[in-house]
Amino acid sequence: MLDSDSRVLYVGKARNLRARVSNYARPGGHSSRIDRMIRETASMMFLTTRTETEALLLEQNLIKQLKPKYNVLLRDDKSFPNILLSGAHDYPQIKKHRGTRKEAGRYFGPFASTGAVNRTINQLQKAFLLRNCSDSMFESRTRPCLLYQIKRCSAPCVGYIGVREYTDSVRDAERFLTGRSTKVQKVLANQMQAASEAMEFERAAALRDRIRALTSVQTAQGINPRGVTEADVIALHMDSGQACVQVFFIRANQNWGNRDFYPRVDADVSPAETMEAFLGQFYDRQEPPRQIILSDPIENSDLMARALGGKLGRRVDIVVPQRGEKAELVSGALRNAREALARKMAESATQAKLLRGVAEAFDLDAPPDRIEVYDNSHIQGTNAVGAMIVAGPEGFIKNSYRKFNIRGDDLTPGDDPGMMKEVLNRRFTRLRQEDAERDKGQWPDLLLIDGGAGQTSAVHGIMKEHGLDDIPVVGVAKGVDRNAGKEEFYRPGKRAFALRYNDPVLYFIQRLRDEAHRFAIGTHRAKRARSVTASLLDAVPGVGPTRKRALLTHFGSAKAVSRANLADLKAVEGISDRLAEIIYDYFQDR
């Protein structure tokens, strides 16, 4: 369904199209949401698919892509971290992995948070002594690293453990991560007893520590259901036109954490519609488990199960338990959803009050829905970056944060107004291209700049050049003695002023500025760290990691490569005559 400007209002599917459209054409009996949608609809577009399953998948893809106004919309679609045991090495590495599963190896997850993965990897290293260093680091070691000294690695890099013994440790870790931990602990307990009887007390103590580490992982998981091996427990709570969906990840009979989501809904949307929309959008990017346990039934459970099973390549069961252990799991997830939504609603009420205070303090026409805060970070002009953070009625909008590498060659080192000019020029030039009509909610209602009168005046001039002087600009300066609590606020053409020391709006502005400062410094440090480890060879065309390693092995350093003659370059294994000429010409030109 499209409005008069061809914007998509709603995406839906129907087995019987005539009945579905006829239902919308009835003059009455609709909910207020459907009634508003029908009044705004100017035209309709139809797509046909071969099967209902294809229709379901297409519907969810279009909803995520187009974000229609009247559909239930999942606003957080970040991927979840996994544990990866790499498979392309004699001594596999254990590490955290997020994103597409392209690398060879075995994946275990998902985990609800990075913290849950880090804690589990930490304990698994204690229990199985697996390496977490990169392959290049592994190959370059000549002596054990600190992890060996603190008994978290068996030092395969220097041959302190053989391939067969290390492989046994990897298999034990896989057994543990797939829920067969009892056998692993029993084997370790037998080995500990045998070592003790042989009076090998150091070995017995090491095995004891490994058993304790395994027990620590199990107890840290929280709820560990006995009868549920692999499932997602999904509970929905709705109140006052808002919804919270709580997802618990159960893998290998262990709880690997939970995450809450707040889909966009209207007051008259049913739990069944909300739950079905959530499942379709959530599993668009996540791999579904063998079983999905729901708090509320959905209308097309068989269709959804077939669609998810087709993606997984095996059967997926969708159940709504009424009794037993699964019902208890749902009850616990539902309690978490209810409490999380109550906290979210309380925070939203406070946030709305603060935004009204911002509007009053800065003479805005209405409370801002989108505040953009800008800051720069550099050390005497080097590794300069700009950062933008965004806040609104729901708090910080982290998927809208942006970072800018300052590229201006004509900038004087430390020229903050010049850096800010480059950042804002790039930001609003792109925004005009992406949202010229200002109808996608990406335009700010207020700009906050970390700086005083000079910064504010420069930013106002930039906004005038873009014809955007209708967007309010406020500069936030540290004030007297650069002391928090004495901030001064600057607006173009107006006198500076300060807020009361204990004003909640002042604390709110401080939090926004500090978040922008944190994001800018983090970006700058990451860029600086990359520059420290950068090599002269990184910019040479045609030289990737393998050839760079070959050159460094042959010559000893990047500087020696840059000074090498053509004949020596051609003598390096893996470097063709043509590539040797490219490398030689590159450094001669420099």
Any domain includes 363? no
Instruction: Indicate the pLDDT class of residue 223, thresholds 50, 70 and 90.
Output: low
Higher pLDDT, 481 or 394: 394
Amino acid at position 133, single letter: C
Report yes or no: 249 and 283 within 8 Å, Cβ to Cβ. no
Give the total number of structural domains in the chain: 5
pLDDT category, 221, cuts 50, 70, 90? very low
pLDDT attached to residue 220: 46
Q: pLDDT class for 414, splitting at 50, 70, 90?
A: low
What residue has token string 């949307």? 269
pTM of this structure: 0.73
For residue 5, the one-letter residue type is D
Strand ranges, E, within 162-310: 230-239, 242-251, 254-261, 291-294
- Does residue 86 sit in the same domain as residue 198? yes
Question: Does a structural domain hold residue 527?
Answer: no
Closest Cα partner for 127 from 187, 186, 208? Answer: 208
pLDDT of residue 141: 85
Q: Domain of 571: which CATH number?
A: 1.10.150.20
Same domain, 216 and 110: yes
- Cβ–Cβ under 8 Å, residues 83 and 117: yes
CATH label of the domain that carries residue 441: 3.30.420.340
pLDDT digits (tens, 9 = 90+) for 432-473: 888 877 877 789 999 999 888 888 888 888 888 888 888 999
Q: Using the predicted structure, report yes or no on whether residue 533 has a pLDDT greater than 70.
A: no
H runs (alpha helix) in 12-102: 17-25, 32-40, 52-66
pLDDT tens digits, one per residue of 188-204: 788 788 888 888 787 78
pLDDT digits (tens, 9 = 90+) for 23-57: 888 877 888 888 889 999 999 999 999 988 889 98
Mean pLDDT of 529-542: 71
Instruction: Tell me the per-residue pLDDT of 332-388, one tens digit each, with 9 for 90 and over.
Output: 999 999 999 998 888 888 899 999 999 999 999 999 999 999 988 877 667 788 899
Buried b (16+ CB within 10 A) or exposed e, 151-186: ebbbbbbeeebeeeebeebbebbbbbbeeebeebbe
Q: What is the pLDDT of residues 79-107, one digit of tens each?
A: 889 999 998 889 999 999 988 888 889 99
- 213 and 235 in a common domain: no
Do 161 and 198 belong to one domain? yes
- Tell me the percentage of the chain whose pLDDT exceeds 90: 35
Dist CA 268 CA 252 (whole Å): 38
Residue 44 covered by a domain: yes
Nearest to 427 by CA among 377, 471, 383: 471
Both tokens of residue 71? 């559909």
Q: What are the DSSP calls for 374-412, one per residue?
A: EEEEEETTEEEEEEEEEEETTEE-GGG-EEEE---TTPP
When pLDDT is cut at 50, 70 and 90, the band that residue 479 belongs to is low
- What pLDDT digit, counting tens, does each position of 120-144 carry? 888 788 888 899 998 888 888 889 9
CA atoms within 13 A on the CB side of 123: 18
CA distances from 242 to 16, 72, 132, 214, 334 (A): 31, 11, 43, 41, 15
Could you give the angle at the alpha carbon of 83 between the alpha carbons of 78 and 88, nearest 5°? 120
Pair 214, 236 in one domain: no
Cα dihedral angle (415, 418, 420, 422), rounded to 10 degrees? -140
Instruction: Kindly report, residue by residue over 483-527, the tens digit of the pLDDT.
Output: 566 788 999 989 989 888 888 999 999 999 999 999 999 888 887
Do 55 and 134 fall into the same domain?
no
Residue 551 domain boundaries: 536-589
Half-sphere exposure of 588 (CA within 13 A, CB side): 9
Same domain, 209 and 235: no
Domain co-membership, 299 together with 245: yes
Q: Is 359 helix (H, G, I), strand (E, B) or coil?
A: helix
Q: How far apart are CA 132 and CA 155, in angstroms?
A: 11
DSSP class of residue 482 equals G
Is residue 208 domain-shared with residue 146, that is, in the same domain? Answer: yes
Cβ neighbours of residue 530 closer than 8 Å, sequence gap 6 or more: none
CA distance 313 to 306: 10
Do 182 and 141 share a structural domain?
A: yes
Pairwise pLDDT comparison (186 vs 468), residue with the higher score: 468
Of 402, 370, 400, nearest to 386 by C-alpha is 402
Query: Looking at the structure, do residues 400 and 462 belong to the same domain, yes or no?
Result: yes
Give the integer Cα–Cα distance in Å for 455 and 13: 52
Do 327 and 393 have their domain in common? no
Q: Is residue 355 part of a domain?
A: no
